[in-house]
């Protein structure tokens, strides 16, 4: 048998297998080796705990398989579960070494580095002097900000539509042969949160009036962001506008290392503030003075007197003209309904 015929036969033999692999649904790549979804695929699997909190044990397989943790096996995070039926599972420690091998270092993957960044940031529970900060319950844990991050592929080509860029994938395919690998790597690299989602994450704490006041913060940050041009554009789902991280994290640093504006290394410090707006992605030709405008101005005489009086002027101007105008129109319509009506017999 010639080599050509042999190859042809192999091709015919493996064609169905290759076809099945290519068209296999995403669920088949599931990390559910322990068959945990036998029970956890049911949305009703839940209970109310002793504190009155709802505990839901449901895992939506389709959504999970489109998340950054799709390749992590269930017991990669739920390390205490070794058998079925299992007892009450302990709280997941996000810093645990899961079963994923980090491709660059070939070591077991862990989020420990993130904790290091958090400890150095304003969100760390321990202050510079090694003491515990006040109201430590308010400081975020991993799950305060993150649920399971979902793949959100962005098409960079021609900025026409969001989604997977087939042109990018084509370039991956030049070297990489595994479709699964290409799909996951591409999604992993291109995925980032939408500006509104980032604002939503920060809003959980930074729009909480009680928390903001307890910690002496000057503003309900996400609310005041929402009042600005950037915030309004974000609410119309514009992706090009800056989100919280664009200004509050120095370029190239971990987003978890958010420093106080008093820290000279912070992007928002007096020394660095001017560079925020003039970055090449935003307003490269602007003066550094642009960053001095009140990004988080609130309607507050103490915090932003100029904006306060400006707003009051416009409120009085708008309300003082339009409201009487509307009342006059309303009364005019009433008169048209009752042309002969009079008060106290007057005509």
- Which residues would be at the binding site for other proteins (CB under 8 A)? 35, 38-39, 41-48, 52-60, 62-64, 67, 84-85, 92, 134-135, 137, 143, 146-148, 150-154, 161-163, 194, 196-197, 200, 209-210, 213-214, 216, 237, 239, 299-300, 315-316, 318-319, 322-323, 326-327, 329-330, 333-334, 336-337
Closer residue to other proteins, CB minimum distance, 19 or 46: 46
| Rounded Cα gap, residues 319 and 331, in angstroms | 18
Phi, psi at residue 126, to the nearest 5°?
Answer: -100, 135
Closer residue to other proteins, CB minimum distance, 8 or 143: 143
Q: Which 3-state string (H, E, C) describes 298-344?
A: CCCCCCCHHHHHHHHHHHHHHHHHHHHHHHHHHHHHHHHHCCCCCCC
| First-to-last C-alpha distance (Å) of the chain | 116
Q: Minimum CB separation from other proteins for residue 237, in Å? A: 7
Q: Minimum CB separation from other proteins for residue 260, in Å? A: 19
Closer residue to other proteins, CB minimum distance, 15 or 329: 329
Closer residue to other proteins, CB minimum distance, 11 or 314: 314
Closer residue to other proteins, CB minimum distance, 229 or 337: 337
* Cβ density class 142-172: b for 16+ within 10 Å, e for less: eeebeeeebbebbbeeeeeeeeebeebeeeb
Q: Minimum CB separation from other proteins for residue 202, in Å? A: 14
CB 123 within 8 A of CB 139: yes
57 beta partners: none
Q: Minimum CB separation from other proteins for residue 312, in Å? A: 8
Closer residue to other proteins, CB minimum distance, 146 or 289: 146
With DSSP H G I counted as helix, E B as strand and the rest as coil, what are the percentages for the chain, rounded to 5? 45, 5, 50
Q: Minimum CB separation from other proteins for residue 41, in Å? A: 6
Closer residue to other proteins, CB minimum distance, 18 or 33: 33
Q: Minimum CB separation from other proteins for residue 29, in Å? A: 17
Q: Find how far residue 2's CA is from the centre of its chain.
A: 58
* Sequence-separated (6 or more) residues with CB below 8 Å from residue 331: none
| Rounded Cα gap, residues 186 and 169, in angstroms | 7
108 beta partners: 101
Sort strands 54-56 and 46-48 into parallel, antiparallel or unpaired. Answer: antiparallel
* Sequence-separated (6 or more) residues with CB below 8 Å from residue 169: 182, 183, 186
Q: Minimum CB separation from other proteins for residue 327, in Å? A: 7
Closer residue to other proteins, CB minimum distance, 26 or 290: 26
Q: Minimum CB separation from other proteins for residue 3, in Å? A: 44
């Amino acid at each position: 048998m010639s080599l050509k015929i042999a190859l042809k036969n192999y091709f015919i033999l493996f064609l169905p297998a290759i076809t099945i692999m290519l068209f296999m649904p995403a669920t088949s790549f599931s990390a559910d080796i322990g068959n945990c979804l036998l029970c956890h695929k049911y949305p009703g699997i839940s209970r109310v705990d002793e504190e009155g909190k709802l505990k839901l044990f449901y895992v939506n397989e389709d959504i999970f398989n489109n998340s950054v943790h799709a390749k992590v096996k269930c017991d990669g995070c739920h390390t205490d579960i070794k058998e079925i039926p299992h007892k009450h599972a302990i709280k997941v420690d996000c810093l645990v070494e899961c079963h994923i091998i980090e491709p660059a270092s070939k070591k077991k993957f862990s989020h420990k580095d993130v904790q290091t960044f958090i400890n150095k940031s304003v969100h760390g529970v321990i202050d510079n002097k090694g003491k515990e900060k006040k109201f430590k319950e308010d400081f975020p844990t991993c799950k305060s900000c993150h649920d399971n991050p979902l793949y959100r592929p962005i098409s960079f080509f021609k900025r026409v539509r969001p989604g997977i860029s087939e042109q990018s994938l084509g370039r991956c395919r030049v070297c990489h042969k595994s479709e699964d690998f290409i799909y996951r790597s591409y999604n992993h690299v291109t995925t980032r949160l939408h500006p509104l989602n980032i604002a939503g994450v920060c809003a959980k704490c930074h729009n909480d009036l009680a928390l903001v006041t307890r910690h002496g913060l000057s503003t309900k940050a996400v609310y005041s962001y929402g009042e600005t041009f950037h915030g309004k554009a974000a609410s119309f789902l514009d992706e090009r506008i800056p989100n919280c991280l664009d200004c509050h994290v120095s370029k190239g640093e971990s987003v978890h290392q958010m420093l106080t504006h008093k820290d000279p290394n912070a992007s928002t410090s007096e020394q660095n503030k001017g560079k925020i707006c003039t970055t090449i992605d935003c307003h490269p030709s602007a003066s550094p003075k642009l960053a001095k405008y009140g990004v988080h101005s609130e309607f507050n005489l103490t915090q932003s007197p100029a904006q306060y009086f400006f707003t009051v002027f416009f409120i009085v101007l708008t309300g003082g003209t339009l409201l009487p105008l509307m009342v006059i129109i309303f009364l005019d319509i009433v008169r048209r309904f009752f042309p002969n009506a009079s008060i106290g017999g007057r005509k």
